Amino acid sequence: MEVQETRVQTDRVLTIPNILSMARLVGVPVFLWLILRPEFGGPKSDGWALLVLAFSGVSDYLDGKLARRWNQISSLGRLLDPAADRLYVLSTLLGLTWREILPVWLTALLLARELMLLVMVGILRRHGYPPPQVNFLGKAATFNLMYAFPLLLLSDGSGWIASLAAVFGWAFAGWGTTLYWWAGVLYVVQVRRLVRADATAD
């Protein structure tokens, strides 16, 4: 039986997966600036914003795949990847809500989940544990939301393309929000088990 390797493979910083994750982080303020330009009297730059989101989605897929294939999994990469995911989600929520493409209640629902996860991370740190690793369900939720957001941005227009984008965008948003909370609940269960195990050991 093959045993999966779970240890950190490298402590190098300048690996291709880490550079991709860093580039995604740099893209966050660029994306937010592009999406909010019309709100401050600038031209509409939704096409460029969509390209930045597309790059984020491709790099999100590649950084994890390349890290595993080239044995370049690192402590830094494990921090950068989920950080980039969450910052893109938060910046997109801010931009789309500001432009009234997303309703406030949906933004509040997604932000509440992020707040819950921050509380769980704080509890883990008090018990000497690192933040929980992103699981498959959390990745699936992020992928759904990263499909939903550009489609909803595209729906902010007229014509059949905008109408079609709205239908699929809201479908992905619904699935993404549901999976996002489901993954959050699983994190809570995981944290409770670790805390209980510590209490039993004491």
Q: What is the mean pLDDT of residues 68-85?
A: 73
pLDDT tens figures, 137-153: 887 888 888 788 888 98
What is the model's pLDDT at position 1? 34
Per-residue pLDDT reduced to its tens digit, 171-200: 999 999 999 899 888 888 888 888 887 777
As a whole number, the mean pLDDT across the chain is 81
Q: Which residues does 12 contact at the CB level (< 8 Å), separation at least 6?
A: 18, 72, 74
Most trustworthy range by pLDDT among 11-20, 69-78, 102-111: 102-111
Q: Which two tokens stand for residue 130?
A: 């690192």
Residue 114 has pLDDT above 90, yes or no: no
Q: By percentage, how much of the chain surpasses pLDDT 70?
A: 87
Q: How far apart are CA 104 and CA 177, in angstroms?
A: 14
